[in-house]
């Protein structure tokens, strides 16, 4: 009995030490003290792998509110982007000061931001090897979460949700099916924003998205339909823009790709202006031309090819996407010290080209994983900002329709502050929603709608 009491006491001391070692008491640029608890530290994944996390307790009722893991995409994008530019509690100003975010998701939930996989942001491996795959990433994330629950044992019975955007459309479903085998984790559901959920469907939808938003003229569209659709009949079932082997189809779609990429359009939010000077695309497109004719003849994959796969590009630059202020802030020594970052690590960048260039994608579609999760009783939300062309709403809505779950009710609008915030379609076990006027990163472009949407989801209430 004495031994058990001592063991319990030691476990309590260890848990408390984990809390105190990682607690952040102040952040440079923030006026005034933190009025909620914040932690930053490292979680152990596979041997020698250390994933950096930031955790903020709920401003409402941390002892009762749900727990949410947030993952940004890429592969190679840091979840600290989410923390400082989307739904985190702070927003960075140009003068390196921090403002409070009135639409932070920790208004309604305890939120973990995980930099995954290793090599992203301040996550690292002892070996320096940053070759990853979809499966190894989901395994490391699961192991990291087990490490987190070991540190924060007070949260082990909280309802646990996954959320993320973009390539998290792969991260979340692959992690979700692993969590189905973890009864000790109270996993409840997932929310995926502008997700890279199905390569083929997004490949087919993006061409239509471009035409119906005025980026392709009628003559070019007529050629595309003639060469890429059966009997020249334009419909989702008869057209194949994604992996068509007809050389005429490939060439005309490539011509449309080249035009869209060259004009300096913000593909992540088509009605927004560009925040940066554009790259000269001509040499990159020319060097990829042979590869494009074989397998990269989509706007979506051409963009990925230029910025992710071209070995001639040594530094990463995204058109219209400027995060230099955040790079500078998170690389400051006082900020690193506040976040408990080892001094031997290199400066923070929002995107790791090293990870992306050594990443193995394994799942062209995530239907199997999403279906398994919903059938296991996990609630789902798939949502899209409707001005994003990179992972557009058409492809993800087709994906939702094809999962095979019965639709409940009609497609209808949902509202925030008496204004149409988007449209929603409910199915047995999950919902699909659009967010009106939002780009790729919904909590950044439509913060009020994003907070309302996630609060309704966590409360198991329909948007409409």
Distance between CA atoms of residues 209 and 299, nearest Å = 11
Look at residues 445, 392, 383 and name the one whose alpha carbon lies nearest to residue 414: 383
Cα 45-189-388 angle, rounded to 5 deg? 90
Catalytic hit among 65, 140, 386, 388:
388
Residue 72: strand, helix, or coil:
coil
Distance between CA atoms of residues 391 and 395, nearest Å = 7
Look at residues 442, 401, 399 and name the one whose alpha carbon lies nearest to residue 421: 442
Distance between CA atoms of residues 285 and 178, nearest Å = 39
Q: If 0-12 CB within 10 Å is exposed, 13-18 middle and 19+ buried, where does residue 182 land?
A: middle
Distance between CA atoms of residues 264 and 278, nearest Å = 6
Distance between CA atoms of residues 146 and 144, nearest Å = 5
Look at residues 108, 22, 98, 57 and name the one whose alpha carbon lies nearest to residue 454: 108
Catalytic hit among 78, 136, 166, 176:
166
Beta carbons within 8 Å of 381's beta carbon, 6+ residues apart: 189, 190, 191, 192, 430, 431, 433, 453, 457
Q: Can 388 be counted among the known catalytic residues?
A: yes
Q: Can 166 be counted among the known catalytic residues?
A: yes
Phi then psi for 139, rounded to 5 degrees? -65, -45
Distance from the Cα of residue 460 to its chain's centroid: 22
Look at residues 424, 427, 420 and name the one whose alpha carbon lies nearest to residue 449: 420
Q: Can 217 be counted among the known catalytic residues?
A: no
- Provide the β-strand partners of residue 43: 51
Residues designated catalytic: 166, 388, 440
């Amino acid at each position: 009995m004495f031994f058990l009491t001592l063991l319990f006491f030691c476990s309590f001391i260890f848990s408390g030490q984990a809390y105190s070692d990682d607690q952040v008491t102040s952040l440079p640029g923030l006026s005034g003290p933190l009025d909620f608890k914040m932690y930053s530290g490292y979680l152990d994944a596979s041997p020698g792998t250390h994933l950096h996390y930031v955790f903020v307790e709920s401003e409402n009722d941390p002892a009762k509110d749900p727990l949410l893991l947030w993952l940004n995409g890429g592969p190679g994008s840091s979840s600290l982007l989410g923390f400082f530019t989307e739904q985190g509690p702070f927003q960075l100003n140009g003068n390196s000061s921090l403002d409070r975010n009135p639409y932070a998701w920790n208004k309604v939930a305890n939120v973990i931001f995980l930099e995954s996989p290793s090599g992203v942001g301040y996550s690292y491996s002892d070996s320096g090897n940053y070759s990853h795959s979809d499966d190894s990433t989901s395994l490391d994330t699961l192991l990291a979460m087990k490490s987190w629950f070991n540190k924060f044992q007070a949260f082990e019975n909280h309802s646990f949700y996954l959320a993320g955007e973009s390539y998290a459309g792969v991260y979340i479903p692959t992690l979700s099916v692993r969590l189905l085998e973890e009864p000790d984790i109270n996993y409840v559901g997932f929310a995926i924003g502008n997700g890279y959920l199905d390569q083929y469907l997004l490949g087919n939808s993006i061409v239509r998205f471009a035409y119906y938003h005025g980026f392709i003229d009628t003559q070019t569209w007529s050629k595309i339909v003639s060469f890429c659709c059966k009997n020249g009949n334009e419909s989702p079932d008869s057209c194949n823009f994604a992996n068509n082997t007809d050389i005429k189809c490939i060439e005309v779609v490539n011509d449309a790709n080249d035009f869209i990429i060259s004009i300096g359009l913000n593909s992540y939010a088509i009605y927004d202006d560009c925040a940066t000077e554009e790259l000269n695309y001509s040499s990159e497109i020319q060097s990829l031309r042979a590869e494009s004719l074989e397998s990269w003849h989509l706007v979506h994959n051409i963009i990925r090819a230029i910025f992710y796969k071209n070995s001639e590009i040594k530094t990463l630059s995204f058109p219209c996407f400027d995060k230099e202020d955040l790079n500078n802030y998170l690389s400051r020594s006082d900020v690193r010290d506040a976040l408990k970052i080892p001094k031997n690590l290199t400066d923070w960048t929002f995107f790791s080209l090293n990870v992306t260039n050594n990443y193995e994608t394994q799942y062209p579609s995530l239907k199997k994983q999403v279906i398994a999760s919903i059938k296991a009783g996990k609630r789902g939300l798939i949502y899209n900002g409707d001005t994003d062309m990179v992972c557009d709403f058409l492809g993800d809505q087709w994906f939702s329709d094809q999962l095979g779950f019965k639709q409940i009710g009609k497609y209808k609008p949902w509202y925030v502050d008496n204004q149409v915030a988007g449209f929603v379609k409910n199915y047995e076990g999950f919902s699909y929603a659009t967010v009106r006027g939002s780009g790729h990163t919904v909590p950044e472009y439509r913060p009020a709608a994003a907070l309302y949407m996630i609060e309704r989801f966590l409360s198991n209430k329909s948007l409409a």
